Amino acid sequence: MDFQLPHVDFRVMAPELFLFAWALVVITFDLGTKRRSGSATGYVALLGLVITGVILSITPEGAGFGAMFYNDAGSLFFKVIFLGAAFMAIGSSFGIMERKIQHHRGEFLGLILLSTVGMMFLASSNELLSLYIGLELTTIPLFVCAAFFKDNRLSVEAGIKYLIVGAMSSALLLYGISFLYGLSGTTDLLQMRVNIATTHLTFREIGLLPMLSVVLLVAGLGFKLALPPFHQWAPDVYEGAPTPVAAFLSVGSKAAGLVAFAKIMINGLQVFYEDIMAPNDWGLLVGILAGAAMVWGNVAAVRQTNIKRMLAFSSIAQAGYIMIGMLALNDIGLSSVSFYMFTYLFANMGAFAIVAIFEDKTGSTQIKSYSGLARTSPFYAASMSVFMLSLAGIPPLAGFFAKYYVFAAAIKMAGSNEIHQWLYWLVGVGLITSVFALYYYANVIKTMYFTPDESPYKLPLSLPGSAVVLIGLVGVILFGLMPGPVMDFASAIPAAFGLIAP
Amino acid sequence: MDASVGPVFWILAAVTILSGIAVVSLKNIFHCALFLILCLFSVAGIYILLHAEFLAAAQVLIYVGAVAILMIFAIMLTSGLASRTIKQVNKHALTALFACVLFVFVVIGLIFKSNVWNWARVPLPEDNVMTIGKLLMTKYMLPFEVVSVLLLAALIGAITLAREEEA
């Protein structure tokens, strides 16, 4: 019997291998200093992320382990987002590490890093088995992180809710995958596209079974992305989980869900999208979910009094906008999605960092406690306003260009063929709900700036929390003024998924 | 599937479903755990009927031998848990039942209506346990190793959550 390994190239896998080793280093470091290391453990974790970023910048594209690990432009771009999200989440968790989880700092940081490894692994896999394992490695550490305040009822509830929803979405996803495997006889996504195309053409009259697997896959991934009607867990989990974990969930975990979606639905099932006559088109299905996300996310966000719940509904709405770009299967759709996610990283992580600092100082997450903050803490109030305006999509901030590119991609797609004209409606919904969204984002600014009394709280400037806010601020403004360089990087992504100009 | 397999399959399927229902409806958590073992066993039997011997062995060794036994230990070592009466349903039980039954019928209907399973008709290799072992050590080695990272993360997480806080 011969044991022939696929082509193995460790240089391609170097960032993941290093970050995995570093996660163990962080845990050991915390134990080695008898848990008296103070904030040093946090800095060790941040250092590891920076080194991983440096390694990532020299990582070549190509196959690392056959189809199980393949770096293309999209993998590398999204790995930057994952590392950024982990960096900013850990940077904003120094407050809770000092006061609330001082006995388990190492484990907390180690689990966040392991989850990041899972996301990076996921972004490189072109095969359903490794993709699923990457997705599980992403979420399982986060179940624990969500429940990390063990004596806090809301946090434990968040952990259990996230665990149950995560298990159920995985079950749906796996069931869908099992049908795909039965139909195509392979787990390799590119091979699957070929096999399903042939099966599909031969057995066109019974196209309902592929549709069943598409529905299951969209439901499973919809839970991960928190698209309505699979979104109910998000506000409760974000509210109960430690704020940096909620931030990491809203950016890192969402980006991982997007990658999984793009890999399965575009790499594996692109034929279904193009074949509009068949009943198994996934475009319309996802389009309806995206529309529901934009409408319901924004409407529900208006009623929230807790800023973490508001940001949760805002992130549901943002997922809707992102999916518009995902539905534009042309040469700019996926690059607009990537750019959107990149700007969302800075705006959302920045906003959550301020929420974390505020909660650490005051213990409150109510929007009304922010009243008058502009007089006592002008830096934080100004930064928060910038993040809110970017999330709302106000020029010249990065969030404006993100929305602009996504809408432009969808309009181009809609114009390319008559059968895609329904995308105009989706863009219309996006534009109208964007205006609506301005109301609750501006409400936070109004509370901070336009209330007569001065806030009783003064938020201190501290490292590295303030640095995270500053990174977010610089990112949102810089990439708003000069989106070009990032778009240049992102422009190679659609081609990596086999998408070209029609 | 040849004729002699038919009755065996139906018996196993009935045992699986009935014990599964018992797991989610009985009021004593210890009885639930016992029925879970029965349920997992009969699923292993179905795997054998499908010539997935490795999967059947793994099912018995891991789920019955380790997971379910651990559950029983946990129940018995937690004081008062085995004798307590628990309620397994809430006010949404009927809605959930309706949704599940609907889902099952839709799925079964679609499966029976289709004949696209030509990929699944590829004959099994002679020695499929050895083939699986070989594949795990070659083509699927990377995901196999990543699973151990996943296990490590789950272990660290479980210990962190279950540990008693020192003052």
Q: What is the DSSP string of A83-101?
A: HHHHHHHHHTTHHHHHHTS
Nearest CA in chain B to A172: B103
Find residues 93-152 of chain B whose CB sits inside 8 Å of chain A: 106-107, 110-111, 113-120, 122, 130, 134, 137-143, 146-147, 149-150, 152
pTM: 0.93
Q: Reduced to 3 states, what is the DSSP secondary structure of residue A278?
A: coil
Number of neighbouring beta carbons within 10 Å of residue B105: 10
ipTM: 0.90
Query: Is the distance from CB of A374 to CB of A367 less than 8 angstroms?
Result: no
Q: Which amino acid is at A105?
A: R
Question: Which residues of chain B carry a pLDDT beneath 70?
Answer: 1-4, 115-122, 166-167
H-type alpha helices, A363-483: 373-376, 378-392, 398-416, 422-449, 465-481
User: In this predicted model, what pLDDT tens digit does every residue of A230-283 receive, in sequence order?
Assistant: 999 999 999 999 999 999 999 999 999 999 999 998 888 876 665 544 444 688
Res. A204: pLDDT tops 80: no
Q: For chains A and B, count residue pairs whose Cβ atoms are closer than 8 Å.
A: 108
User: What per-residue confidence (pLDDT) applies to A315?
Assistant: 95
Residues of chain B in contact with residue A68, where contact means CB-CB under 8 angstroms, are 139-140, 142-143
CA-based nearest residue to A448, from A389, A369, A393: A369
* Residue of B156, B159, B163, B166 to mutate when probing chain A, most A C-beta within 10 A: B156
What chain B holds in terms of domains, given with CATH numbers, is 3-115+125-166 (1.20.120.1200)
Find residues 91-110 of chain A whose CB sits inside 8 Å of chain B: 103-104, 107-108, 110
- Measure the CA–CA gap between A352 and A10, rounded to whole angstroms: 36
- Measure the CA–CA gap between A26 and A30, rounded to whole angstroms: 6
User: In this predicted model, what pLDDT tens digit does every residue of A331-390 receive, in sequence order?
Assistant: 888 999 999 999 999 999 999 999 999 999 898 999 999 999 999 999 999 999 999 999
CB-based burial label for B123 (10 Å; 0-12, 13-18, 19+): exposed
Res. A402: pLDDT tops 80: yes
| Helices and strands (H, E) in chain B, number of each type | 7, 0
The minimal CB distance from A137 to the residues B107, B141, B146 is found for B146
Res. A322: pLDDT tops 70: yes
Name the more confident of A201 and A362: A362
For residue A396, say if its preceding peptide bond is cis, omega within 30 degrees of 0. Answer: yes
User: In this predicted model, what pLDDT tens digit does every residue of A346-358 receive, in sequence order?
Assistant: 999 999 999 999 9
Taking the Cβ of residue B162 and every Cβ of chain A, the question of whether any pair is shorter than 8 Å is answered with no
CB contact under 8 A, B107 and A212: yes
Mean pLDDT value of segment A298-316: 95
The first and second tokens of residue A86, run together, are 């982990």
Query: Is the distance from CB of A407 to CB of A427 less than 8 angstroms?
Result: yes
Name the more confident of A432 and B163: A432
